[in-house]
Amino acid sequence: MKRELHLLVTFLLLGVLLVFTAVALHAQPQPTTDYSAPGPHAVGTRTVTIAVTPGRSYQATLYYPAVAPGGANAPLDPSAAPYPAISFGHGFLQAVSSYASTLNHLASWGFIVIAPASESGLFPSHSLFADDLRDCLTWLTWENLNPSSFLFLGVDVNQFGVSGHSMGGGASLLAAERDDRILAISNLAAAETNPSAIAASALITRPVQLIAGSQDDITPPANHQLPMYAAANPPRQLPMIVGGWHCGFQDSSFPIGCDNGSLPRAQQLALTRRLLTTWFLLYLRAEEARWYEVWGPPPRQDAQVLFTGDDGIELQPPAQSGQVTAGQRLTYTLTISNSGVLTTAYALALESDWTAELTSAQTPLLGPGTAVSLSFWVQPDITGQQTLTLTVRSLYDGGTTDWANASTLSLEPGDPTPTPTLTATPTPSATPTMTPTITPTMTPTPTPSATPTPVPGYAVYLPYVVRLGE
């Protein structure tokens, strides 16, 4: 098994190297915020009693944005309320406090996190634990409407997510399959459960992120997270932390039965915090700009986290190039296909320093497997070259985004106007299988665009342009 996982990681590393090589040829803006660092809020903690299901009662720990200086039982910070909420499930025989740094971190970025301490014995019920994760969200809903509660009107009850580690990660999938209030899932080293979290994954139609460690010897990705990913519907991701290990997702290891990995715990936790934070900021706080860190170039360039993902959006052609005399217009045409399982429309945006315009800012509703063609034009104001970026955002969840590029070369007015040359090379997406040698879905191979005939007196150069999205 270890040999198979080693082969898997080696293959994925090769894919990341190809992605990095391709992206290096096409400059992209870089994120300026470190989402592994604490957010702008002080953090408060409280222990509460959950008694939602008749005859069932247990304690849970709350982490929430608090007024400075924060701390135990501090008042909720009203400045950015109401806050989205995330229910977090602990691992088998693990205390909630083992995840304190991660849960504090999420609260510092504007989330209320509730972590039940139930099902902590030798024979836990995965099904009951999943219901506890749901009941914690129901308790937050009640407290939000309770004028005597410190959470009164402080919870965004329309923005719920779930997370968890190991057993709790599997339970988070069971909870999401049962509860449509849950809009986003991101968990850590999720374990197969009874009932099956793999089977539940096939029934979830909200964004799912399965964070895994390549050296996990307790819930090996080949037997747990990879089958969950293969069963899941887009949008889905499986970020594999290179050298990550099962107990590396905790602040300290359980004294019996923990594994080890080559990545230091502090580094693994920092990568984990970044992945969780950007995912939930995109899908629960509706920060549309976070698509770049979640679906854009950075996650595909990161050699520390191997990216496998399927956004459910297909753009053809994914990359084009053309040339035109400055002051004239050049038109590009694309086809947008819904490769997901739900009907949705897509919002379009065009990024260009030159004058450019889309024929439409939104598509009609597209059912699964259907497509629509659209066009946009660009009119260069000066000579030179620029790459236009078209982003296509799903309106179903408001965050899932793909993009295509058009590299345009503008020549001096008065020079002979060449016939526009449009080229495209689609990047195939392999469908993951439930085997240790699963093929990543996102491994673009650089394909050279057509090289135009040089105009006398001008140095003409078109870089490699590759499609980086699905």
- What is the SS3 assignment for the chain? CHHHHHHHHHHHHHHHHHHHHHHHCCCCCCCCCCCCCCCCCEEEEEEEEECCCCCCCEEEEEEEEECCCCEECCCECHHHCCEEEEEEECCCCCCHHHHHHHHHHHHHCCCEEEEECCCCCCCCCHHHHHHHHHHHHHHHHHHHCCCCCCCCCCEEEEEEEEEEECHHHHHHHHHHHHCCCEEEEEEECCCCCCCCHHHHHCCCCCCEEEEEECCCCCCCCCCCHHHHHHHCCCCEECCEECCCCHHHHCCCCCCCCCCCCCCCHHHHHHHHHHHHHHHHHHHCCCCHHHHHHHHCHHHHHCCCEECCEECCEEEECCEEEEEEECCCCEEEEEEEEECCCCCECEEEEEECCCEEEECCCECCCECCCCEEEEEEEEECCCCEEEEEEEEEEECCCCCCEEEEEEEEEEECCCCCCCCCCCCCCCCCCCCCCCCCCCCCCCCCCCCCCCCCCCCCCCCCCCCCCCCCCC
The domain segmentation of the chain, as residue ranges, is 2-310, 313-411
**Which pTM was predicted?**
0.83
From the list 228, 392, 408, the residue with the least C-alpha distance to 311 is 392
134-169: b or e for each residue (b if 16 or more CB lie within 10 Å)? bbbbbbbbebbeeeebbbeebbbbebbbbbbbbbbb
From the list 84, 231, 103, 108, the residue with the least C-alpha distance to 161 is 84
Model pLDDT, residue 465: 29
Number of Cα atoms under 13 Å in the Cβ half of residue 298? 16
Q: Is the Cβ–Cβ distance between 314 and 339 less than 8 Å?
A: yes
Q: Which residue do the tokens 């809903």 mark?
A: 141
pLDDT tens string 136-184? 999 999 999 999 999 999 999 999 999 999 999 999 999 999 999 999 9
Structural class in CATH, domain 313-411: mainly beta
| 2-310 CATH pick, 3.40.50.2300, 3.40.50.1820, 3.10.20.310, 3.30.750.24 | 3.40.50.1820
CA distances from 272 to 99, 125, 245, 278, 348 (A): 11, 27, 12, 10, 30
Asked if the model's pLDDT at residue 341 lies above 70, the reply is yes
pLDDT tens string 96-147? 999 999 999 999 999 999 999 999 999 999 999 999 999 999 999 999 999 9
- Cα–Cα distance for residue pair 280/425, rounded to 1 Å: 33
Model pLDDT, residue 311: 98
Q: Is the Cβ–Cβ distance between 394 and 344 less than 8 Å?
A: yes
**Which pair of structure tokens corresponds to residue 247?**
């107990």
**What residues pair up with 323 in beta bridges, in sequence order?**
409
**Which pair of structure tokens corresponds to residue 55?**
């005859």
Helix axes 126-144, 167-178, angle to 10 degrees: 60
Amino acid at 449: S
pLDDT tens string 188-217? 999 999 999 999 999 999 999 999 999 999
Contacts of residue 148, defined as CB under 8 A and 6 or more positions apart, other chains included, come to none
Asked if the model's pLDDT at residue 7 lies above 80, the reply is no
2, burial (CB in 10 Å: exposed 0-12, middle 13-18, buried 19+)? exposed
Taken as a whole, the chain contains a residue count of 470
Amino acid at 144: N
Give CA angle at 49 (252, 191), nearest 5°.
45
pLDDT tens string 371-407? 999 999 999 989 999 999 999 999 999 999 999 999 9
Model pLDDT, residue 412: 84
Asked if the model's pLDDT at residue 1 lies above 80, the reply is no
Question: Considering only 112-116, 142-146, 276-280, 456-460, which range has the smallest mean pLDDT?
Answer: 456-460
